[in-house]
A and B are shown apart, each in its own frame.
Chain A
Amino acid sequence: MPKKERYQNRIELLQGTLDMLILQTLQWGPQHGYGISQSIQGRSREILQVETGSLYPALHRLEKQGWVTSHWKQTESHQRAKYYRLTPAGKRQLLSEQARWAQIVTAIAGIMNPAPDEG
């Protein structure tokens, strides 16, 4: 039981951010679930680990929202995989998320590193 609770907390914590990270990753072209998790992991220099239990629900949620579409394609190593692609609505969503993220970063930074003239 405690295991389950912890699990759900993590999903909740990541939800907004993970969606943004996925949309950002798909900006560079269609990608499959494994590719997306590898890409986020790589670009964050192995700091961000994407749980599959969060990744796949997020992908399916984004698809339901109409921000990504999916299709089956061969990978370079000749395996069938489900590729996700950003839709125009997804691009708009990404832009608004980026703006919101920038706001949050500035706001938190303002608290964490107060400007010298204020101190």
Chain B
Amino acid sequence: MSFWTRLFRRRRREEELDEEIQGHLRMATQERMEQGVSAEQARVSAVREFGNVGLVKEVTRQMWGWGWFEQLMQDVRYGIRMLAKNPGFTAVAALTLALGIGANTAIYSFLDALLLRSLPVSDPKSLVVLNWHAKAWREDFVMRDMSGDVEDDPKLGSVSGIFPYPAFELLQQSDSVFSDVFAYCQTQEVRTMNVTIKGQADLAHGELVSGDYFRGLGVRPAAGRLIVPDDDRTGAAAVAVVSHAFSEKHFGGASSAAGQTILINNLPFTVVGVAPPEFFGVDPAAAPDLYLPMHTNILLGAANQFGFRAHDYLDQNSYWVEIMARLRPGVSLVQAQATLAPRFQQWVATTASNERERANLPALTLKEGAAGLDTLRRQFSKPLFVLMTLVGLILAIACSNVANLLLARAASRKREIALRLSVGAGRLRVIRQLLTESVVLATLGGVLGVFFAIWGIRFLTLLLGGGPEHVTMRAELNWHVLGVAAALSLLTGVLFGLVPAMQSTHLDLASVLKETRAGQPNRLSSDSIAKTCCYSN
């Protein structure tokens, strides 16, 4: 049964119940009149015998099994009316909450993008990142040349993800544990490039990827094709894959980008395809515009006196490629590491040229690759968690402020509440009603808060990215984030509503009802007090 048929049926049932009760009263009146009682008296006595019509209706309606819903709708309607009656209070409270909820939603959307979402690739759980660690690397170390990062680690000494190209070739022969091994890097040549598109020059960030990079990640093109192993060898035609955002910015869409020729550092490249919109590379912080086959760095380096040369591919002591791999089904991370660490150990020992280097060889470790490389996480997760805590506190403060406002207002609503309690509303029922009202208020705050959040996300993107040109993260409002905003609204509604609701239903009915009507300025009495004051002076 659909919602509307149910609602319609309920209407009719309601009318029937009313008619049933009116019929009861008419019959009772008529019977009394037949016994000789006057019409007026008969009516009064029948009504008195019947009791509270509203209450009878309510307890009867509860038997229909839909009472909770009706009460909720009633409470929501009443709540909206009460809020509309006090536009000032509502505006202040909703804005306070909106700021709190908005800030939380904005920060959460970043945490969501950063920590909770995985790479937009197929089966990210089977991806691993290859790292090495060593006690020290600055002196007497097999790595004599490098392009990339080495992190200091309190436990392991130094950790890094860059390897020499020959090590990549060695690890590519690990068919027993890996189904794919692929590499990528951002060397000096590609980090910032001059590109000319249809005669217009611009700067672009590139990434070098090995031929099986896209196949290994399981990414499908948005248009054209992606880079394949055949593109990644010396002497292959110069091709490039562009990011979806780049294709929109420069070609007006993915489909019109494929097949175009562009100049990169004045060398002609063919754009063979476009990466899908949600794909930002394995490193969310890098988010390249262009993906180039790894071997094109020989082309690009030729123009540069100290640029990349073909023999660098053979250099066993030059560390520059980052490696990721996909585990074969059924192979665990630990198993793969146990297989490969000795193999790498054996190989790297041959690259050492003296005893001191041999004493401090890098050791291979595997890490889960599911969430992309964690540069971005390392960089932003701590400040984001600090921010999250801060905005959480802000929301708590907002809640307590609104609770205070509600408490203040509860004082002026005492009479209304006392009246409800005295005509037979249960205390729980009144608390529920007040809570519904505060949840309605919080929902209003939540809706406004989402607008604040949209604005806040833009602002934070600029702040974290360092400028509009360098937007590194795609934080957005998705159902996750909206769900969190909704949950926050509900939670805050209950949080700030509960104490005022409990307190304001704890009343001495008689004394409150005897007071003058609250909420209406009692001009006469205050005037007379003023006069009394004047006269006494």
B210: shortest Cβ distance to chain A, in Å? 70
Interface size class of A (residues with CB under 8 A): 20 to 34
Let me know if B63 and A57 touch, CB within 8 A: yes
Which residues on the A side are within 8 Å of B27 (C-beta)?
32, 34-35, 75, 77, 79, 81
Evaluate whether A7 and B424 lie within 8 angstroms (CB atoms) in the complex, with A56-B21, A57-B59, A79-B27 already known: yes
| A100 close to B (CB within 8 Å) | no
CB neighbors of A among B160-186 (8 A): none
Contact with A along B65-90 (1 / 0, CB 8 A): 10000000000000000000000000
Evaluate whether A52 and B20 lie within 8 angstroms (CB atoms) in the complex, with A57-B60, A64-B63, A81-B27 already known: no
B26: shortest Cβ distance to chain A, in Å? 6
Let me know if A34 and B24 touch, CB within 8 A: yes
CB neighbors of B among A34-67 (8 A): 34-35, 38, 51-53, 56-57, 60-61, 64
Let me know if B424 and A4 touch, CB within 8 A: yes
Let me know if A56 and B20 touch, CB within 8 A: yes
Let me know if B59 and A11 touch, CB within 8 A: yes
Instruction: State which of B31, B56, B421, B427 has its C-beta within 8 Å of the C-beta of A52.
Output: B56
Let me know if A79 and B23 touch, CB within 8 A: yes
Interface size class of B (residues with CB under 8 A): 20 to 34
| A111 close to B (CB within 8 Å) | no
Instruction: State which of B50, B60, B425 has its C-beta within 8 Å of the C-beta of A60.
Output: B60
Let me know if B64 and A81 touch, CB within 8 A: no
B487: shortest Cβ distance to chain A, in Å? 34
Considering the chains assembled together, what is the distance between the CA atoms of A79 and B16 in angstroms? 14
Let me know if A80 and B23 touch, CB within 8 A: yes
| A82 close to B (CB within 8 Å) | yes
| B28 close to A (CB within 8 Å) | yes
CB neighbors of A among B401-444 (8 A): 421-422, 424-427
Let me know if A53 and B19 touch, CB within 8 A: no
Interface of A: prevailing SS: helix
| B55 close to A (CB within 8 Å) | yes
Instruction: State which of B23, B52, B422 has its C-beta within 8 Å of the C-beta of A81.
Output: B23
A62: shortest Cβ distance to chain B, in Å? 9
Let me know if A51 and B51 touch, CB within 8 A: yes
Considering the chains assembled together, what is the distance between the CA atoms of A53 and B53 in angstroms? 8
Give the one of B16, B20, B51, B56 with max A CB within 10 A. B20
Considering the chains assembled together, what is the distance between the CA atoms of A33 and B51 in angstroms? 15
B384: shortest Cβ distance to chain A, in Å? 50
Considering the chains assembled together, what is the distance between the CA atoms of A73 and B31 in angstroms? 19
Which residues on the A side are within 8 Å of B63 (C-beta)?
57, 60-61, 64
Considering only CB atoms, which chain A residue lies closest to B52 in the complex?
A: A53
Considering the chains assembled together, what is the distance between the CA atoms of A51 and B426 in angstroms? 20
| B62 close to A (CB within 8 Å) | yes
Evaluate whether A33 and B421 lie within 8 angstroms (CB atoms) in the complex, with A53-B59, A77-B30 already known: no
Let me know if A1 and B426 touch, CB within 8 A: yes
Considering the chains assembled together, what is the distance between the CA atoms of A53 and B24 in angstroms? 13
B9: shortest Cβ distance to chain A, in Å? 13
Considering only CB atoms, which chain A residue lies closest to B31 in the complex?
A: A38
Let me know if B24 and A52 touch, CB within 8 A: yes
Let me know if B23 and A53 touch, CB within 8 A: no
Evaluate whether A64 and B23 lie within 8 angstroms (CB atoms) in the complex, with A4-B426, A56-B60, A82-B16 already known: no
Considering the chains assembled together, what is the distance between the CA atoms of A42 and B511 in angstroms? 43
Considering only CB atoms, which chain B residue lies closest to A11 in the complex?
A: B59
Considering the chains assembled together, what is the distance between the CA atoms of A64 and B51 in angstroms? 24
Evaluate whether A82 and B23 lie within 8 angstroms (CB atoms) in the complex, with A52-B51, A64-B64, A64-B65 already known: yes
Contact with A along B1-38 (1 / 0, CB 8 A): 00000000000000011011101101110110000000
Which residues on the B side are within 8 Å of A82 (C-beta)?
16, 19-20, 23
B44: shortest Cβ distance to chain A, in Å? 16
Give the one of A7, A60, A79, A80 with max B CB within 10 A. A60
Considering the chains assembled together, what is the distance between the CA atoms of A1 and B27 in angstroms? 32
Considering the chains assembled together, what is the distance between the CA atoms of A32 and B64 in angstroms? 19
Which residues on the B side are within 8 Å of A33 (C-beta)?
20, 23-24
Let me know if B23 and A34 touch, CB within 8 A: yes
A80: shortest Cβ distance to chain B, in Å? 7
Considering only CB atoms, which chain A residue lies closest to B509 in the complex?
A: A1
Give the one of B17, B56, B62 with max A CB within 10 A. B56
Considering only CB atoms, which chain B residue lies closest to A5 in the complex?
A: B426
B250: shortest Cβ distance to chain A, in Å? 68
Considering the chains assembled together, what is the distance between the CA atoms of A56 and B28 in angstroms? 15
Which residues on the B side are within 8 Å of A79 (C-beta)?
23, 26-27
Which residues on the B side are within 8 Å of A77 (C-beta)?
27, 30
Which residues on the A side are within 8 Å of B17 (C-beta)?
56
Considering only CB atoms, which chain B residue lies closest to A75 in the complex?
A: B27
Which residues on the A side are within 8 Å of B51 (C-beta)?
51-53
Which residues on the A side are within 8 Å of B30 (C-beta)?
77
Contact with B along A70-107 (1 / 0, CB 8 A): 00000101011110000000000000000000000000
19 A-B pairs in the complex with CB atoms less than 8 angstroms apart: A1-B427, A1-B509, A3-B424, A11-B59, A32-B23, A34-B24, A53-B51, A53-B55, A53-B59, A56-B59, A57-B59, A57-B62, A57-B63, A60-B60, A64-B65, A79-B23, A81-B20, A81-B27, A82-B23
| Besides A32-B23, A38-B31, 14 new A-B residue pairs in contact (Cβ under 8 A), listed by A number | A3-B424, A4-B426, A7-B55, A32-B27, A33-B20, A35-B27, A52-B24, A56-B21, A57-B63, A60-B63, A79-B26, A81-B20, A82-B16, A82-B20
B contact set with A: CB distance below 8 Å: 16-17, 19-21, 23-24, 26-28, 30-31, 50-52, 55-56, 59-60, 62-65, 421-422, 424-427, 509
Give the 10 A-B CB pairs with smallest separation, nearest first.
A60-B63, A56-B60, A34-B24, A61-B63, A34-B27, A82-B20, A81-B23, A57-B60, A53-B56, A4-B424
